[in-house]
Amino acid sequence: MSIVRQPFGRTNHLSSRLIFGAVALGEVTQAEADQTLDVLLEYGINHIDTAASYGHAEERLGPWMAQYRDQFFLATKTGERTYAKAREEFLRSLERLRVDSVDLIQMHYLVGEEEWQIAMGEGGALEYLIEAREQGLVRYIGVTGHDVAIARMHRKSLDRYDFDSVLLPYNYLMMQNPVYAEGFAEVLRLSQERNVAVQTIKAITRRPYPPEERSQHATWYEPLTDQSSIDKSVHWVLGQEGIFLNTVGDIHLLPKVLDAAARFEGRPSDDVMQAMIEEQQMAPLFV
């Protein structure tokens, strides 16, 4: 059961519509990571998204790269905002991943106005990432984030620099927020106009964990866990043409998400999604 592939923006790479979110490898053993790789290969996943801040994820991916580097579009992220610190972090990422270069480097969670000014200004992270591309250490540059404010900040980022990709939240419940829905639609419009790849996250979010409740999953939010609800949520996201879905941050839920995507035939109706929200007692993760 292979996942459908489509062009990843202007990169000329045909990426699986589901991108493996390697945050799921942050706290697992190498043996568990290797078992996860087998699942990815079974479904034809050929795009990996990781980050320097994802625990041990880059280190867990390193052993894969020696054998499978040519089978994956490889993306990582830096959360640093200055030239010097971004350079240091990115070079460390290359070492951990055991590669000479990656396909995509992304400025991670660029939401705050002050840090945006630092990252985009003279001596900022963007300046280094452009240099790294000129040195052949990376081919493309992207920007990521979440929270309701990220749609507005992505529009600002796209005005500042011609990024190759963006990443932001997208699920049915979040799109019931009219402010976010309008912002997402504008980011999508600009991205399609400029052939910028759009990656989405938080597809199977159920609700924030109550403060008194201990997390039962590797995700920092409470995820949907039953196959039926995951099916609806994944199918709703994939119903938007042209976008990508980054998988869940828990290796034990990953097979359910992949299985749902492999069976995608169309988007569920609003009535179906509203019924699921009531049944699952869902609540917005970002407000």
Mean pLDDT taken over the chain:
97
Quick one: pLDDT band at residue 29, thresholds 50, 70, 90?
Answer: very high
31 burial via Cβ count (<10 Å: 0-12, 13-18, 19+) = exposed
Q: What is the mean pLDDT of residues 271-280?
A: 98
Q: Is it the case that residue 58 has pLDDT exceeding 70? A: yes
Q: Is it the case that residue 190 has pLDDT exceeding 90? A: yes
Q: Is it the case that residue 214 has pLDDT exceeding 70? A: no
Residue 119 · residue 160 · CB < 8 Å: no
| CA distances to 230, 269, 279 from 284, in Å | 16, 19, 15
Q: Is it the case that residue 216 has pLDDT exceeding 90? A: no
Quick one: pLDDT band at residue 261, thresholds 50, 70, 90?
Answer: very high
- CATH code: domain 5-280 is 3.20.20.100
Within 13 Å of residue 188, how many CA atoms lie on the same side as its CB?
A: 16
Q: Is it the case that residue 152 has pLDDT exceeding 90? A: yes
Dihedral sign computed on CA atoms, order 188, 219, 217, 259: positive
Q: Is it the case that residue 136 has pLDDT exceeding 90? A: yes
Q: What is the pLDDT of residue 241?
A: 97
Q: Is it the case that residue 124 has pLDDT exceeding 80? A: yes
pLDDT in tens, 87-104: 999 999 999 999 999 999
Which residue has tokens 């971004």?
A: 86
Q: Where are the domains of the chain?
A: 5-280
Q: 63: helix, coil or strand?
A: helix
pTM for this prediction = 0.97
Q: What is the pLDDT of residue 78?
A: 98
Q: What is the mean pLDDT of residues 64-79?
A: 97
Q: What is the pLDDT of residue 2?
A: 82
Q: What is the pLDDT of residue 215?
A: 73
Distance separating alpha carbons of residues 90 and 97, to the nearest angstrom: 10
Distance separating alpha carbons of residues 114 and 135, to the nearest angstrom: 28
Residue 141 · residue 167 · CB < 8 Å: no
Q: Hey, what are 147's tokens? A: 């929270």
Quick one: pLDDT band at residue 210, thresholds 50, 70, 90?
Answer: confident
Which residue has tokens 């055991």?
A: 98
Q: Is it the case that residue 255 has pLDDT exceeding 70? A: yes
